[in-house]
Amino acid sequence: MKVALFATCLVDTLTPTVARATATLLERLGHEVVVPTGQACCGQMHVNTGYRREAVPIVANHVRAFAGAEAIVAPSGSCVASIHHQQADVARRAGEHRLAADAAELAGRTYELSQFLVDVLGVTDVGAYYPHRVTYHPTCHSLRLLKVGDRPFRLLRAVRGLELVELPGAEQCCGFGGTFAVKNADTSTAMLTDKMANVLSTHAEVCTAGDASCLMHIGGGLSRLRAGTRTVHLAEILASTEEAVTPNQTTRPAMSV
């Protein structure tokens, strides 16, 4: 299958290793990956901060960039949820009915990584090797908007060498929430503190998730504490093999690609 990769603005700009891992994984599974250069952002940050009018041209750009793609995959539950639940609405409200229809149609072909692997490709064992103790944080939008359910667990359980440990209070929000993290920094930090306490209680080496944004939040907190537990995106774990395991492969600081 020919898969168009939507890196998402945050991953593309700050943690490109996550998009790279997604591409590596899909190619290893025998699919052709294309990366439309016109891509930028899904518009979620604008919509969720109250700038739904300003989001309309962003949605239009996204629809232009991916027009004609057979399947679009993004390593982010949150951005895919926005594509599914917000883009068409925002366009419709602005009176852009043509754009709304196009966005809705594109959303039908857009998948979050774990959903694409399990539902579309029908694989749970992607042939990965990752010899680490890992805990999984189900990010809110993957959990409640996309309802990815146990798909990430099924993928992780099939990874050779990986020891999966349960995260207490897993379904509690990490406190990221986009601009919430800045506008309500104190409350966000209080939520993060409890999330980190739960992560650290597992004694996992790695905390993983399907959203680079939440991982940047949790990872930023753990790194500030010099906690030693690092955050690694699900795509990076699934992309790892015996031949290509990079021990410092991580969603946090990427000095170069």
Among positions 116-175, residues that touch other proteins (CB under 8 A) are: 140-141, 143-145, 171-173, 175
Among positions 2, 27, 35, 201, the unique one binding other proteins when judged by CB under 8 A: 35
Q: Which stretch binds other proteins (CB under 8 A): 39-47, 99-107, 118-126, 203-211?
A: 39-47
Rounded to whole angstroms, the Cα distance separating 135 from 34 reads 31
Q: Which is nearer to other proteins, 2 or 160 (CB)?
A: 2
Q: How far apart are CA 257 and CA 246, in angstroms?
A: 13
Residues that bind other proteins (rule: CB under 8 A) add up to a total of: 73
- 213 counts as binding other proteins under rule CB under 8 A: no
- Residue 181 interacts with other proteins (CB under 8 A): yes or no: yes
Provide the token pair at 220: 């930023």
Q: Which is nearer to other proteins, 20 or 151 (CB)?
A: 20
Q: Which residue, 33 or 123, is less far from other proteins as judged by CB?
A: 33
What b-and-e string marks burial along 44-68, b requiring 16 or more CB atoms within 10 Å of the CB? bbbbbeeebeebbebbbbbbebbee
> Least distance (Å) from other proteins to the CB of residue 7?
5
Nearer to other proteins, 138 or 159 (CB): 138
Q: Which segments of the chain does DSSP mark as H helices, in order?
A: 9-14, 16-28, 44-49, 52-66, 77-85, 87-93, 97-107, 113-115, 140, 151-157, 180-183, 185-201, 212-224, 234-239
Among 7, 25, 209, 235, contact with other proteins (rule: CB under 8 A): 7
